Structure 1
């Protein structure tokens, strides 16, 4: 009866701990983050529909079961009324100080609160969001980035509270500081190329408009300006560099300008239609609705304005595709350029909107498609305008050639800069690769004996153990200790002791010839040999060879010969799910202890009595 009660108690305790671990915060191991590590699948999130939960409340046991595990690379919640809490645990398993950056490259989040909780329960609070001045950000970049300074073995719990009345995405990633700076430099450079190209096209078409007084160019200029402003808002560069002291303007920069973008685009396209039709009526309706929306959006909250703009965008998109198909079927060669450019931009815009609404998963095309489509669209629309005004007077031709030269010079300058920057980056990458190889070698090798070190051995042992468990094969371990090594150090000094360690290391290495075997310095005067896929007889032969080889060593120091011997404990296991690498090490250690006790300079194989003793120790 007592045994039954004990078994029931054990089962109850097991399920209690299993249920607690199911809701434990996910721990992310900090490793090589030079290229950024997405944290999406490691995140947990919790909905705060009433926007009233505090940090203390969501950390309490009451809310443990309400946390959800993420199944997305980038958490997307679509249109969201409440607040969302996100949490993750970051841990530095290394012995080094690490400087990491937590990056969230997402514009449009109105309120963003970050809490970093250290081991001593010290809480670091940082606040940002479009409803707060740009200067409130911890790192002055377009994204919400937080610098985390990890001590060796230190872990931190990160909680983020995000609240917005529009669409909500949380694309968290972790970067080391150097990789973050390089990434930001690359993004800023490519974005600079985009906005530079847009500025050039805007100035070009503005000059042409003043020269020719053609209204189509004016609508095109307004369209480029609106498109650039929308992209400044989406990428957060506008809030960083232009209206950084105006959260109000940041909340209006997207919704209001989108209406102007649709109206100017519709007016521009109308110039390519030669006859009155239902399509022109639809475009006029687009223009009217867009201008009314832009005016109303000035006085509406962002969430309401954003929800109103979604059907307007879809309606404009349908009219745009209708226009594209009509022009393609019945238009001239000039109209073909318009169709291609308009299709590219609409495709990029639709992908971005579907991603923000959490209908499509975020990807490179959804995030960058609008920029790529915009540049290509502007290019093709420019070509369409060039074709339309081919028969214009000489002034237009002169203005075109002049500004095309400016564009070419700027392009050439950008190409030269890109080439120089590429060469510089390649040179830096080669140096970093060489340095990383050296660091990898140094971190795995014992400096004195040039054998593998303890850290390398532990990692290899764990991998070989898992392989043996899967393949149901045995694995042998030789644990060796130099006999009377303390006396050698005391009588001859540590320099002689070091020379003896080198000689013995070479003697061990000479007898271990298989590529799958591992030789390492385990610590002090201890050495270890890992022998996977081997019989106990062959393992004992190798151990005896090592022992005999070392016993023949007779190094001479100051005219005297020094006799060296070693004791070896041999243990073998076929791994099972209930055993660990520690069990095999303990068995080999018991065998080594017996070899020492029986007089040293011998090999002792772990037997069943040692295994029983190990089981007794494990139970205790």
Structure 2
């Protein structure tokens, strides 16, 4: 290999190591976030060996019969129901709390929030969910199980019954609304980058197959897509977006697509290592293994998931070392491609062992095993792509060698020389065309990845304190609604609102009390202004703005008056103090006729707001623009 080639390989290895370190750091930080919110130290577990206990029965079980849950809250593969009992820590902040069951593949989750009044247990709230039910039956539209903690003056105990035919995990976290939004934003960003990367790899190789008709590209693209579906299924994303009403497919998805993925990767290994020519006997062994995987994929449609997932984990731990052995053996024989191949399977083997150990509860790791599998998939697919690129480089080197042989034989046969030169030129043009096509398709794939990241950036349009849209989101929505008003000739109303004497609230009770007032004010806005088409935004500080499409001035003024009355009648309790606030509002409306009307309407509504304040505050002033 040339010195330039060695330098390129060194840079690529550095890139892979840097990417691995970055991904592991990000996953470690995400795991830290969930660990900080974990209820493991407050949770006890009781194994229901009969499967017949009710929530009334479980409350009478003696404390000594309950066990502390493991730190990972993983119980291995078992079909016995597990009961979890958690004394929810006292809510010092007074903010609404959310209970999250983060493992998305649990078949059934029954949860009760219980308190005691005068020694009598009282159920405050209860839910029954699980991926054995259609996605539309979930109380919250999310790929994980989310429950609001009821408000109560007494201590609350959460009792949960979890049961699954596969790995059983009771990962329970407690969040405030603001902290969960921040965590979900980081989690979605990581997932978007991962799936965007996998999609780009699959799409670029699919286009390479279309342009070159080399089957290896198609097999590799199918493998990456199957791997992505497996990860999406483990995260609950597939159930949410791909088959939300098919509980039958949801039960089998992980094992089914994993078997197809492993069958494709064995086929890919045979092709890229050229085992039919280099190692015929090993190629036959892998061919048998490949067929076994495809047969097991079909068997997933009939056999229980609990059986197929155990077989899958065992087959992975058996087959990946076989592939690793084949690639290492060929690497020692001088194959540069096999070295990258061995590194790829080493990474996947390590992540597979960690995932299996977590599923069987053999070991505990400081990083979420599902994230580890995604990191392993990213590094492994990148290394396989490098091996594929190196295969192209080898083909080009062979073409150069053939060219030199043709030049040497030119002295003996001029006619043969011309024909061979022509063939060599055609091969060179085809190779350059393939490289150009791949570069173009990679640019398209990366542009699509950028679009996915832009969608994730839309999460930043939410004001973290109030949960309303922020000013940046308002600027976009007012422009869109004004254009619709102009197009459909319907009235558009805009209301500017301000909490009266808000600085006095901050000075008297403190900024935390002021924040609580802003949150309660936003909550009251949502209670009064309920239409899905209405847009509620925090404009800045204590100032809010409401966009009311298809609404006349009188209707808008009536709605703001209802909100004003509701605010004035609400007592805000904060740290044993009662706070009363009022609000003033300025309202305007019209049918938009020019491109600048929306800006003028906002200014005019703001002017009416100041008229309301000049008129004594705690009032609504409305005027047509």
Q: Does 1:347 align with 2:350?
A: yes
Secondary structure at 1:393's aligned position in 2? helix
8 Å CA contact 2:75, 2:360 repeated in 1: yes
Instruction: Kindly indicate whether structure 1 or structure 2 has the higher relative contact order, using CA contacts under 8 Å at least 6 residues apart.
Output: 2
Deviation (angstroms), 1:261: 1.0
RMSD of aligned Cα (Å): 3.3
Tell me by how many angstroms 1:155 deviates: 2.0
Residues 67, 289 of structure 1: alpha-carbon distance in 2 compared, 3 angstrom cutoff? same
1:350-361 equivalence runs, <5 A: 350-361=353-364
CA distance in 1, matches of 2:35, 2:107: 28
Structure 2 contact 44–66 (Cα < 8 Å) conserved: yes
Aligned equivalents of 2:71, 2:196: Cα separation in 1:
32
In the alignment, which residue of structure 2 is the partner of 1:98? Answer: 95
Q: 1:313 to 1:68 in 2, by over 3 A?
A: same
- In structure 2, how many angstroms separate the alpha carbons of the residues matched to 1:336 and 1:427? 52
Aligned to 1:595: none
Secondary structure of the 2:149 match is strand
Q: Which residue of 319, 325, 330 corresponds with 2:328? A: 325
Equivalenced residues, count:
403
In the other structure, the counterpart of 1:48 is 48
The answer to whether the aligner puts 1:294 opposite 2:292 as a matched pair is no
The question of whether the paired residues in 2 share the 8 Å contact of 1:334 and 1:387 is answered with: yes
Report how far residue 427 of structure 1 moved: 13
- Cross-structure match for 2:37: 37
Shift of 1:346: 2.5
- 1:20-67 Cα shifts (integer Å, max 9, x gaps): xxxxxxxxxxxxx9995211122111011121110001111x544321
1:273 paired residue number: 273
Asked if the contact 2:192–2:452 (Cα under 8 Å) also holds between the matched residues in 1, the reply is no
| Structure 1 contact 128–134 (Cα < 8 Å) conserved | no
Q: Which of structures 1 and 2 has the bigger CA Rg?
A: 1
Distance 2:159 2:286 in 1: 47
Distance 1:254 1:417, change over 3 A: closer
Structure 2 residue 190 is matched with structure 1 residue 226: no
Aligned match of 1:238: 238
d(CA) in 2 for partners of 1:128 and 1:88? 18
Q: 1:150 to 1:227 in 2, by over 3 A?
A: same
| 1:74 partner SS | coil
Q: Deviations over 1:410-456 (max 9, x none)?
A: 5667788999999999999xxxxxx9xx99x95999xxxxxxxxxxx
Partner of 2:115: 118
Shift of 1:257: 1.1
SS in 2 for 1:173: strand
- The 1:403/1:86 distance shift into structure 2, 3 A limit, reads same
Give the direction of change, closer, same or farther, for the CA distance of 1:156–1:219 in structure 2 (3 Å limit): same
Q: Is 1:67 equivalent to 2:66 in the alignment?
A: yes
Moved more, 343-352 or 248-257: 343-352
Aligned positions of 1:401-412 closer than 5 A: 401-409=439-447
Post-superposition shift, 1:407? 4.2
Q: Aligned partners of 1:142, 1:421: CA distance in 2, in Å?
A: 17
Pick closer, same or farther for the CA change 1:108–1:276 going to 2, 3 Å.
Answer: same
Task: Describe the shift of the 1:426–1:52 C-alpha distance in structure 2 as closer, same or farther (beyond 3 A).
Answer: closer
Residue 80 of structure 2 is aligned to residue 82 of structure 1: yes
The aligned counterpart of 2:614 is none
CA contact (8 A) 1:34 1:175 kept: no
Aligned CA distance change for structure 1 residues 154 and 362 (closer, same or farther; 3 Å): farther
2:134 maps to 1:133: yes
- Give the Cα–Cα distance (whole angstroms) in 2 for the partners of residues 35 and 58 of structure 1: 27
Q: Which of 412, 416, 432 is residue 394 of structure 1 equivalent to?
A: 432
Deviations 1:81-140 (A, max 9, x none): 21100001114353x633111111102211111111134503422111121111222222
Secondary structure at 1:271's aligned position in 2? Answer: helix
> Are the counterparts in 1 of residues 38 and 173 from structure 2 also a CA contact under 8 Å?
yes
Aligned partners of 1:136 and 1:305: how far apart in 2?
A: 27
Q: Aligned in 2, Cα 1:236/1:331: closer, same or farther, shift over 3 Å?
A: farther
Deviation at 1:367, TM superposition (A): 3.0
Q: TM-score, normalised by structure 2?
A: 0.59
- Shift of residue 357, structure 1, vs aligned partner: 1.0
Q: 1:314-352, CA deviations, whole angstroms, 9 ceiling, x for partnerless residues?
A: 221221221332233224223333222232222222211
Displacement after TM superposition at 1:157 (Å): 1.1
Equivalent-residue separation in structure 1 for 2:464 and 2:289 (angstroms):
49
Other-structure match for 2:602: none
**Residue in 2 that maps onto 1:145:** 146
Instruction: Specify every segment of 5 or more residues in structure 2 that has no aligned partner in the other structure, as ranges.
Output: 1-32, 397-429, 467-502, 514-625
Moved more, 154-163 or 325-334: 325-334
Instruction: Give the 3 Å change call, closer, same or farther, for CA 427–416 of structure 1 in structure 2.
Output: farther
With normalisation by structure 1, the TM-score equals 0.60
- Which SS does the other structure have where 1:165 is aligned? coil
1:385: which partner in 2?
A: 388
Q: Give how far 1:283 is off.
A: 1.5
Aligned residue for 2:622?
A: none
Note if contact 2:51-2:81 (Cα within 8 Å) is conserved in structure 1. Answer: yes
For 1:201 and 1:329, the matched residues in 2 are separated by: 29
